[in-house]
């Protein structure tokens, strides 16, 4: 059952903002599938050369570079660049030299599948609230990902617009500015507690949705709502 704190029956929120990667689409699963397509032998190996090992290599590179950008140690580079670097790292480690295979792998983040409740949940919620997507994915990648996954937004916002990555405060302020209402009337939904903590620091309301591979809340997190899935969240809000 959903655990609700602070959101009254009068629905004192005006806009719902969704994280995308991991919350509405299966990012780890999609990247793993793309790696297996590019490196078929990864299914037959273990350790660092396995599909899971190569996925971890990809994720570590992207996370490290986003942190370096956030700390000012590297100029802003969009996700197309970071994903291209990650794809080349994976290909080099796996001994894949075919440039066409590497190029396709680099765009894997644009072909992620939605969780089975994402499309219908968004459609239900959008009948009641303006719904925004807020993603670290670059503008072009977010456009193609939304189309591939069948995600219907009133508007999709890319952190690329403010040349930053979540959890940079500028990204959440961008969402609140777009929403056009006070932050306490904007609900941020994510499967990542770190994302919600950053949104909370900017005055936004918060809702955690449990997803495989997400970042669950700790005992010290005080989010407004926690749900086991999107259907449960939408029912609580409607």
Residue-range domain boundaries for the chain: 3-26+112-237, 27-110
pLDDT on residue 11: 53
Domain 3-26+112-237 and domain 27-110 have a common topology = no
Contact of 127 with 150, CB cutoff 8 Å: no
Q: How far apart are CA 147 and CA 119, in angstroms?
A: 11
Query: What is the separation of C-alpha 154 from the centre of its chain, rounded to a whole number of angstroms?
Result: 17
Mean per-residue pLDDT pooled into runs of 10, the chain (238 residues): 49 91 95 90 59 92 96 96 96 90 95 95 94 96 95 94 97 97 96 97 95 90 92 90
CATH class of 27-110: mainly alpha
pLDDT on residue 45: 54
pTM confidence score: 0.90
Q: How far apart are CA 90 and CA 238, in angstroms?
A: 44
Q: How far apart are CA 24 and CA 207, in angstroms?
A: 13
Q: How far apart are CA 195 and CA 197, in angstroms?
A: 6
CATH homologous superfamily for the domain 3-26+112-237: HAD superfamily/HAD-like (3.40.50.1000)
């Amino acid at each position: 059952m959903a655990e609700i704190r602070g959101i009254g029956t009068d629905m004192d929120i005006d806009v719902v903002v969704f994280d995308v990667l991991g919350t509405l689409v299966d990012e780890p699963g999609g990247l793993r599938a793309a790696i297996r397509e590019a490196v078929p032998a990864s299914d037959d190996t273990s350790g660092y050369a396995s599909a899971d090992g190569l996925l971890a290599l990809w994720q570590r590179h992207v996370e490290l570079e986003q942190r370096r950008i956030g700390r000012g140690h590297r100029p802003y580079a969009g996700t197309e660049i970071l994903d291209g670097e990650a794809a080349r790292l994976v290909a080099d480690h796996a001994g894949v030299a075919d440039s066409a295979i590497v190029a396709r792998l680099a765009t894997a983040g644009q072909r992620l599948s939605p969780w089975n409740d994402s499309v219908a949940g968004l459609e239900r919620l959008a009948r009641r609230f303006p719904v925004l997507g807020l993603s670290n994915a670059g503008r072009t990648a977010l456009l193609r990902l939304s189309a591939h996954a069948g995600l219907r937004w009133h508007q999709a916002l890319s952190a690329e617009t403010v040349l930053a990555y979540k959890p940079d405060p500028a990204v959440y302020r961008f969402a609140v500015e777009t929403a056009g209402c006070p932050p306490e009337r904007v609900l941020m939904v994510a499967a990542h507690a770190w994302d919600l903590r950053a949104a909370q620091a900017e005055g936004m309301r918060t809702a955690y949705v449990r997803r495989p591979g997400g970042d669950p809340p700790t005992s010290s997190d005080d989010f407004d709502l926690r749900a086991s899935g999107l259907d449960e969240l939408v029912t609580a809000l409607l």
